[in-house]
A = this chain, B = another copy of it.
Amino acid sequence: MFKKQRHTAEEYVQGILNHDRILLSKAITLVESKLSSDDKIAEFILEKILPFTGQSLRIGITGVPGAGKSTFIESFGKHLTSLGKKVAVLSIDPTSQRTNGSILGDKTRMEELANDPNAFIRPSASGNTLGGVHSKTRETMLLCEAAGFDIILIETVGVGQSETNVKGIVDFFLLLMLAGAGDELQGIKRGIMEMADTIIINKADGDNVKKCEIAKREYQNALHMFPPAANGWYPKVLTTSALNKSGLNEIWKVIGEFEIVTKESGHFYSNRQGQNLRWMHDVISYYLHYSFFNHGSVKEQINYVENQVKIGSVSAIKAAKSMIGLFM
């Protein structure tokens, strides 16, 4: 048997702070590890790098399959590195656990960005790990920040639960759409639209430019009918052609404007504080539920009880109380 080469916790920390990508990658693997033996070292690393996190701008990007997310992220990422930024791309693909990692996939679909020395692309492990999909992504994000990345792009597929989780860890949320809303809307999860800080109509090239301009106006009108977000920011609508690399600077300008406005109002910081707090409560909640649902008698009876409740033959309250009774 080969003995896998391991580093000490301190070596990981120093490596990350020295912007060493190989050690960064290995540390992310440790954080994502399901081995409890890796937990302690991962926790040590995270606590050590914590003071060096938080300086990046965290951007969530979502959109239905077909909206051109990969091309957009590649073009936008290249645009950012051309401005001297260091960009980390974390993509959350709920299907990646089935295909057992899409690292190759990610690197292939964003080849140019993957070869950019100022970019770092990493699929983020999904699945039922501690605190849900977002907890590991959040930790990975912190590691990337400590490793000197200025901008973290977090990509999700726009059709599941992960968007809500990503919204809970980013500063700014981009929604990628196409012109010809009717059909593609079917794929978008209700509620995602109201999370967006900016909607981008992609593929505004060739014959499609006019359609995109119409879609832009329609979205602007639609958003106008919706209440403003808590931060007072009115979502913008922009068009882009990720293919022709047009509109990218406008998007970056809007994000800059958002950063200034919300930093001046203080919302940028209070949002992050609230996210930290919710994260803690999510983890607490996860542990409480984990120990409840893995309790012997609860585990045995929960399916039966759930069915009784669903069909209404026992009230939810009585059922809940009886399960809690088993647990306590």
Contact = CB atoms under 8 A, between A and B. Distances in A.
- Measured as residues with beta carbon below 8 angstroms from the partner, the interface class of chain A is 35 or more
Given A46-B315, A320-B280, A321-B283, A227 B186 contact: yes
Contacts of A320: 279-281, 283-284, 287
Contact of A317 (B187, B229, B283): B283
B306 A277 contact: yes
B226 A315 contact: no
Interface string A60-97: 00000000000000000000000000000000000000
Contact of A225 (B219, B281, B321): B219
A319 B319 CA distance: 32
A315 B228 contact: no
A324 interface: yes
A135 B317 contact: yes
A191 interface: yes
B47 A315 contact: yes
Interface string A133-164: 00100010010000000000000000000000
A249 interface: no
Q: How many copies does the complex hold?
A: 2
A324 B277 contact: no
A33 to B, nearest CB: 14
A312 B54 contact: yes
A58 to B, nearest CB: 14
Contacts of A291: 328
Contacts of A221: 218, 221-222, 225
Nearest to A328: B291
Interface of A: 43, 46-47, 50, 53-54, 130-131, 135, 139, 142, 181, 185-194, 218-219, 221-230, 273-274, 276-277, 279-285, 287-289, 291-292, 305-306, 309-321, 323-324, 328
